[in-house]
Chains A and B, each alone.
Chain A
Amino acid sequence: MKMDSVLNAMASFLRLISLLCLPILFAVSAIGSVSEGVAEDFSEDLLLKPLPDRKVLAHFHFQSTAPSSRSNSYGRHHHLFPKAISQLVHKYRIKEMELSFTQGRWRYDRWGGFDPISSSNAKPSGVELWAVFDVPPNEVDATWKNLTHSLSGLFCASINFLESSTSYSAPKWGFHPASENMRYGTLPREAVCTENLTPWLKLLPCRDKSGLSVLMDRPSIYKGFYHSQRLHLLSSEYDSNAVDLAIVLDQTLTVVLQPHSHRGTLGYSTATQLQPSWSLSSIFGRRVTGKCALARSSNVYIQLDRGLMAELQGMLGEQEMFAIIGASSEGSGSNPAFELSANPDRVHMEISSRDDKHLSVLYMFMVEEKYDDSEPLDLRFTWKIPVAWSIPQAPLHVTRFLLGSGNERGAIALQLKSTKPSDRLMPDTVISDSCSLLVRVFQVVPWYIKVYYHTLQVFIDDRPHTIANVVEKMQVSPSKDKVSPGVMEMLLKFPCGLKSAALTIEFDKGFLHIDEYPPDAHQGLDIPSAVISFPDFFASTQFMENNISKSPILSKWQGQSPILSYTEVLLVPFTTPDFSMPYNVITITCTVLALYFGSLLNVLRRRVGEEERFMKSKGTNNFHVSHLVSKSLARLRGRQWEPSESQSSSSISNSKSKLLFKVILVAGLAAAWQYYFGSGT
């Protein structure tokens, strides 16, 4: 009946009944004029940046903001801001939330580790979710669980696996500075694809119908080397000191793409090789035909980072450098080093507190009305001279690996190598006499990796060091079997001149119950990325102009974002049982039991002595083994065995009944078989 009514509802849904009649004009009292002033806002940005290893970084940034719901009982009526997100914020009382879907690994050494993009958009592969709630501490877990379910429905991903208490943790200070009521969880093995991108695009007012998001051609962006789609939500809805913007939703998509090189051969760039030239259509296969009609601003930026600018400065003269910096004033945006197909609308120069010439340059192109279907914006960047440069790096380059062999125990090693940042990048505190480098480590270890925290060892420049000298602050919450993962938060203090440092910690691999193994258990189990941050360093870019704070990318860059890097995900091979083992065990046990039972029964039932005696007496009557064999052979041939002696008539009737019994037995077995297995299938 239930099903029927559902079907009926569907049927009647299709049978749309038009409203044919004129409704009564219900008396309604007219009120004052329509109130103006919807503060919902949306803007879009795209940043393109050539990378030293012949690749191009494309970074989309969409920002939606919504006003506070307290001012005008706003919150149920939306104009630009996605309704789903606003409802999410209100239902779960979210203060801040970040969700990222990543595929590939960010190469900190080649793609940078000291800029806002790498510190906020380089994410561990798979899904990472963290959220800060504004609920009483005892309700945080329940809220988190509900949130994971909502998000998993919203983004078509298995985020609901973060519901289990073994998969999320509550960082205190190691991950995020203000992390009260915070929960953090990752799913390293989550595959990311278009089904996650489509709901993410649905949150944009223009989706991928117009504006910069038109460039998101699925095959192009998914064949890149790195793909990270992120959603960051900041809500001051429940803050006591109200601000006008209650919810700020930042959606970013960061992709690293390989442009098709028209000239020069493939391979890692050398000083003599020309970097590949690229254009929007060559890397995305699409062009921008106009801005999203709803966006307040829609800009495309091309960034030349500090390393590249320093290199160009070394290669070119001052006059030529001026051509690069002042591209907008000049004719076609061309200069000795490269050529831009369009004139930038504005050039932003980074300013530095110390007088240094290695500054990054940002060319800004506004997507205006002048572009349309017939004349799309197809930005092209053509190199004229071969350049090789290195990109600014975080003070320490981090790698993490496993030590030991076998399936029983091992050790996690975290290696930090100095990238020798120039003094310019060092903050003032580091340069002072008590020179030290602070490093924060946040590591979540699943419960089946039983970490012995007392085995923590620190090596500085390959020499062991006492922990007390290095570890400033440490907080450990050991894992509980099948309940919660282990969390380690550490603040380390290294001397400035360090070349390399390493942390090792030993662990035992736990035994898992057969149904606790993930699918494809032979692949091994993952240890999520550790998060390394440098509390003294901030990636912040100050630009000369002050009136540029309207663009979400630039305003983001001007803020102080801490330098973060994620380590690799570790794959720990585990002893996997033979998953058919239960049946094997059952079979063996049962066979042994059956043997025991059968022989016991035989011992009790049969009269061995009697039979032996009987055998002996038969022995005179040729009752031999050969006798038996000939009998069974005859039986195999299907003939009635004829004993040497003549059979009495009674034996013939006996054999008939035997035959009958056999037939009945076989028929009965067949019937039983049919009954059980015929009905079963």
Chain B
Amino acid sequence: MAEISEPSKPPQLDSGTSEAGLSQFAFDPKTMRNTKPGFKRLILTISVFSSFLLGLPFLWKSVEIYRSPLPFRDIDALSSHIESSPLQFPCTFRVIFVGFDSMASRAEQLKSSILDEMIKLSSKSSLCGSCSNNYAVSVVIESGSDCSQTRSDASSCSWRCGALSASDFAASLENGLHSADDFLEVALGGCSKSASGGRVYSVVVMNRGENVEATIGKYRHGWIVGRVSEAEAISKVAETFVKLLGNGGREEGLIPGEFMPVGADGKIFLSFNLLNADPDDWIYDWDFQTVDEVLLKPLIKELSPIANVSVESQVLYHTPTSSFSYWDNKQESYIFSTKDLPFFVNSNEWHLDTSIAAGGRSKILHFVVYIPSARECPLLLQLPDGQISETNGFISPMWGGVIVWNPKGCLRDRESKQHHRHMISYPELEKIVEVFLGQFRQLFGLKSNPQHVGLSGTFNILTSEKGFTEWEMDFLSRQHSCFNLHSCASSLGSLSRLVQSLPRMIIIDEIGKQVKYSLEAATLAQKNASVGVFDAAAISSRQARSLAEDAFFHPSIMSVSYFSFEHCFAVYSPFFLPVALHLAHSLIMLGLCGHQHIQMSIEQCPLW
């Protein structure tokens, strides 16, 4: 300290002076500074530093990328809601007892026992798109002039006493099941059509004759005829309602339910392919034009509420399978077994191709009719139990189906090279289309058995010419809206996870809007479903799904910014690093040495 007091020079005018100096030189108090020395520099440094700090958010903002805010919380809520409680629809059921004199005044009691039975059956299955467990059941007992019924809700279609005459129904039964079905459709009338409050499924129980026979028609009703005890009737009715009318007759585990073969844009392309394994042996062609017009048109019309179906076909040649078959003497044919199926579809040689006509998100279902070459004809599919498959075909969920079609007498014709071009005859084509319809129904998760073997006996199931009966269509549209919501929730969930995991992904406003509308549509669909308006629920669920998919597959979502953090560092560090060093240095100098810095020797200040 002493050395400072020694300077021979007079102190500078503008700079602060030491205390020792002050004591020696007299100053004019007016011109003399009254602030501490170093204060100005402190202010200066701090202001520069703080402007530096203030600039940082701007810098951050300028390198930030645009991300439209997404309602992550709503998406999570939707996903968790759909995950936890599958969408279920309220369904209305009605039982009509005809010719039961003994149970005159027990409608309410019957109702409660049927309900108990139904809940017992349904407790195990909470399939997506099935009827919810609080069933609305009404019971009508018609016995001659006497007619009693349970109190019905105002919303459901009320029953008009005497609408169903036992003798007429019995007469129509004589003419076969289909005429009885049509008779009931007329008699039960408007209630099965979509009235206010949804459709009513009815079962008529008639005490007549000996054999008990339960049948489900192709509309929205079934009947049980025969000498049937009350308990039996109740269990049969309950099963009809829960397993068949409510659940479409499907069992769990057949096909995983989430896979509805409908594209995200609500379109299905049925691509029919006739594969000639080796055209040098024989060439088969088909007249698919007629098949399309005659056999497939009604099906397409029937399915229109669920999906927009288009049909196209082609014939391909030189398409061997990649699996091998072996000769079986007993069957006099070549056999391939179910374990070969994964190798049957030969994606190298079967250039089935996606369709250019189809949009990006339509579902294409391939149906392949495979004509084996002379080397392996006839070719039969062996089931795991050793039986030969009657359809000689198999399906692959979400992909389509394969039918192996053996030309007649191909074993005999093999030697004679007298081929060549054949047409598949129309009756043969009809058979192929029947198998196809079965496969198609199976892709939708519906069984094609003419009989349903349930817990309480077998049920006859009538079929419709259109391929799907009305109650099956109801079930499909319920299921469809449920799966749509599922898929919407999963798309949105994936989107939100993706967006959250990639902080440098640009999200434009359009995506945000799509997500918003999709959520709105999903909520609407849920609301409609809970009220029981199937159609509106299906429509808004489809909307929700398609919007969610639009958002997920938006082209701009691919443009993840490759403007990496390292790039930021590389661009800005050449400026900020040297400047920051200067600043830091001066700050440290100020902070550590403060205003004494002048008085101290440089080397005494730390860091220097």
Of B6-14, B112-120, B189-197, B527-535, the one contacting chain A is B6-14
Q: List chain A residues, Cβ under 8 A from B465.
A: 26-28
A2's nearest neighbour on chain B, judged by CB, is B494
Write out the residue numbers on chain A whose beta carbons fall within 8 Å of the beta carbon of B395: 16-19
Given B314, B434, B494, B575, which contacts A83 in the complex, CB threshold below 8 Å?
B314
> Within 8 Å of chain B (Cβ to Cβ): is A290?
yes
In Å, the complex CA distance between A50 and B292 comes to: 51
Contact partner of A18 (CB less than 8 A), chosen from B316, B389, B493, B564, is: B389
B residues 1-33 in Cβ contact with A at 8 Å: 3-4, 6-7, 9, 12, 14-15
Q: Is the CB of A598 within 8 A of B579?
A: yes
- Report the minimal beta-carbon distance from A169 to chain B, rounded to whole angstroms: 25
CB-based nearest A residue for B565: A680
CB distance from A667 to the nearest CB of B (A): 16
Q: Is B287 in the interface zone, CB < 8 Å from A?
A: yes
A13 to B280, CA, bound (A): 31
Interface residue range, chain B? 35 or more
A602 touches B582 (CB 8 A): yes
Number of A positions contacting B (CB below 8 A) = 90
Indicate if B571 sits at the interface (CB-CB under 8 A).
Answer: yes
Flag B302-329 by CB within 8 Å of A: 1 or 0 each: 0000000011111111100000000000
B433 touches A28 (CB 8 A): yes
Q: Chain A: which residue is nearest B11 at the CB level?
A: A613
Are A21's CB and B448's CB within 8 A?
yes
Whether the Cβ atoms of B341 and A16 lie closer than 8 Å is yes
Cβ B381 vs Cβ A5 within 8 A: no
CA–CA, A575 and B524, complex, Å = 61
Inside 8 A of A35's CB, which chain B residues have their CB? Answer: 287, 289-290
Asked whether, in the complex, the Cβ of A613 is within 8 Å of the Cβ of B427, the reply is no
Other-chain contact of B6, A210, A617, A631 (Cβ < 8 Å): A617
Residue from the list A30, A91, A292 in contact with B427, Cβ < 8 A: A30
Distance of A617 Cα from B9 Cα, bound (Å): 10
Binds B, one of A125-133, A174-182, A651-659: A651-659
Contact digits for B408-426, partner A, Cβ 8 Å, 1 yes 0 no? 0000000000001001011
**In the complex, chain B residues whose CB is within 8 Å of the CB of A594:** 574-575, 577-579, 582
Min CB gap A660→B, angstroms: 10
Contact of A84 among B41, B356, B390, B427 (CB under 8 A): B356
Identify B287's interface contact among A1, A34, A209, A680, CB under 8 A. Answer: A34
A73 and B293 alpha carbons, distance in the complex (Å): 10
Alpha-carbon gap, A680 to B504, bound state (A): 13
A597–B585 Cα distance when bound, in Å, is: 14
B606 touches A19 (CB 8 A): no
Q: Is the CB of B603 within 8 A of A631?
A: yes
Interface stretch (choices A100-108, A332-340, A585-593): A585-593
Q: Is A397 an interface residue (CB 8 A)?
A: no
Given A12-B398, A34-B287, A83-B314: A654 touches B258 (CB 8 Å cut-off): no
- Whether a CB of chain B sits under 8 angstroms from the CB of A25 is yes
Chain A residues within 8 Å of B494, by CB: 1-3
Least distance between B265 CB and chain A CB atoms (Å): 16
A5→B341 contact, CB < 8 A: no
Kindly report which residue of chain A lies nearest to residue B403, judged by CB atoms.
A19
Is the beta-carbon distance between B15 and A88 smaller than 8 angstroms? no
- Are B397 and A17 in contact (CB-based, < 8 A)? yes
- Least distance between B340 CB and chain A CB atoms (Å): 10
Kindly state whether residue A419 has any CB partner on chain B within 8 Å. no
* Interface pair B450/A598, CB less than 8 Å apart: no
Report if A261 contacts B (CB, 8 A).
Answer: no
Choice from A23, A154, A290 contacting B434 with Cβ under 8 Å: A23
A604 within 8 A of B: yes
Residue B294 interfacial (CB < 8 Å): yes
Contact for A30 among B41, B430, B491, B572, CB less than 8 A: B430
A21 with B447: CB separation less than 8 A: yes
CB–CB A23/B391 < 8 A: yes
Residues of B within 8 A of A618 (CB): 3, 601
Stretch at the interface among B99-107, B165-173, B232-240, B435-443: B435-443
Most buried by B among A30, A598, A618: A598
| B383 at interface, CB cutoff 8 A | yes
In the assembled complex, the Cα of A617 lies from the Cα of B525 at a distance in Å of: 89
Q: Could you tell me the distance in whole angstroms from the C-beta of B4 to the nearest C-beta in chain A?
A: 7
- A74 beta carbon closer than 8 Å to chain B: yes
Say yes or no for B346: interface residue by CB 8 A criterion.
no
Report A619 CB to chain B, min CB distance, Å: 11
For residue A164, CB closer than 8 A to chain B, the reply is no
Cα-based distance from A88 to B399 in the complex (angstroms): 23
Q: Are B582 and A654 in contact (CB under 8 A)?
A: no
CB closest residue in chain A, given B259: A9
- Shortest B115–chain A CB gap in Å is 32
A540 on interface, CB distance cutoff 8 Å: no
Contact between B381 and A18, CB atoms less than 8 A apart: yes
Specify the chain B residue showing the minimal Cβ separation from A198: B351
**B150 interface residue (CB < 8 Å to A):** no
A25 to chain B, nearest CB (A): 6
Contact B353 A84 (CB under 8 A): yes
Expressed in whole angstroms, the minimum distance between the Cβ of A1 and any Cβ of chain B is: 3
Q: Indicate if the CB atoms of B280 and A290 lie closer than 8 Å.
A: yes
- State the CA gap A661–B294 with chains docked (Å): 91
Determine whether the beta carbon of A595 is less than 8 Å from that of B578: yes
The answer on a CB contact under 8 Å between A19 and B290 is no
Across the interface, name the chain B residue whose C-beta is closest to A595. Answer: B578
B598: Cβ under 8 A from any A Cβ: yes
The closest CB in chain A to the CB of B393 belongs to A19
User: Which A residues lie within 8 Å of B448 (CB)?
Assistant: 21-24
- Tell me the bound Cα distance from A352 to B247 in angstroms: 80
Chain B neighbourhood of A23, CB < 8 A: 391, 434-435, 437-439, 441, 448
Residue interface mask B73-92, A partner, CB < 8 A = 1 = 00000010000000000000
In the bound complex, how far is the Cα of B136 from the Cα of A637, in angstroms?
Answer: 94
Chain B: CB-nearest residue to A679: B565
8 A Cβ contacts from A592-617 to B = 593-595, 597-598, 601-602, 604-605, 607, 609-611, 613-614, 616-617
Q: If A17-B255, A76-B313 touch, does A613 touch B7 (CB 8 Å cutoff)?
A: yes
Question: How near does chain A come to B607, taking the closest CB pair, in angstroms?
Answer: 7
Q: A77 at the A/B interface (Cβ < 8 Å)?
A: yes
Which of B441, B493, B569, B575 is A590 in contact with, Cβ under 8 Å?
B575
Contacts of B125 in A (CB 8 A): none
A1-B494, A613-B12 known; A293-B315 Cβ under 8 A: no
Query: In chain A, what residue has the closest Cβ to B310?
Result: A76
Residues of B within 8 A of A625 (CB): none
Tell me how far the C-beta of A42 lies from the nearest C-beta in chain B, rounded to whole angstroms. 10
A90 within 8 A of B: yes
Contacts of B601 in A (CB 8 A): 614, 618
**Residue in chain B with minimal CB distance to A151:** B356
**B binding-site residues for A, Cβ under 8 Å:** 3-4, 6-7, 9, 12, 14-15, 41, 44-45, 48, 79, 255-256, 258-259, 279-280, 283, 285, 287-290, 292, 294-295, 310-318, 338, 341-342, 344, 351, 353, 355-357, 381, 383, 389-391, 393-399, 401, 420, 423, 425-427, 430, 433-435, 437-439, 441-442, 447-450, 463, 465, 467, 487, 489-491, 493-494, 552, 564-566, 569-575, 577-579, 581-583, 586, 598, 601-604, 606-607
| Complex A-B: 23 CB contacts under 8 Å | A3-B494, A8-B258, A13-B397, A16-B342, A18-B395, A22-B390, A23-B434, A24-B449, A24-B463, A28-B295, A28-B433, A28-B465, A31-B294, A80-B315, A597-B582, A601-B48, A601-B583, A601-B586, A604-B41, A614-B601, A614-B602, A618-B3, A621-B3
A interface residues (Cβ-Cβ under 8 A, vs B): 1-5, 8-9, 12-14, 16-31, 33-36, 38, 72-74, 76-80, 83-84, 87-88, 90-91, 150, 154, 202, 205-207, 209-210, 290, 292-294, 583, 586-587, 589-591, 593-595, 597-598, 601-602, 604-605, 607, 609-611, 613-614, 616-618, 621, 631, 651, 654, 657-658, 661, 676, 680
Please give me the 7 A-B residue pairs with the lowest Cβ-Cβ distance, nearest first: A23-B438, A590-B574, A1-B490, A590-B575, A594-B578, A2-B494, A18-B394
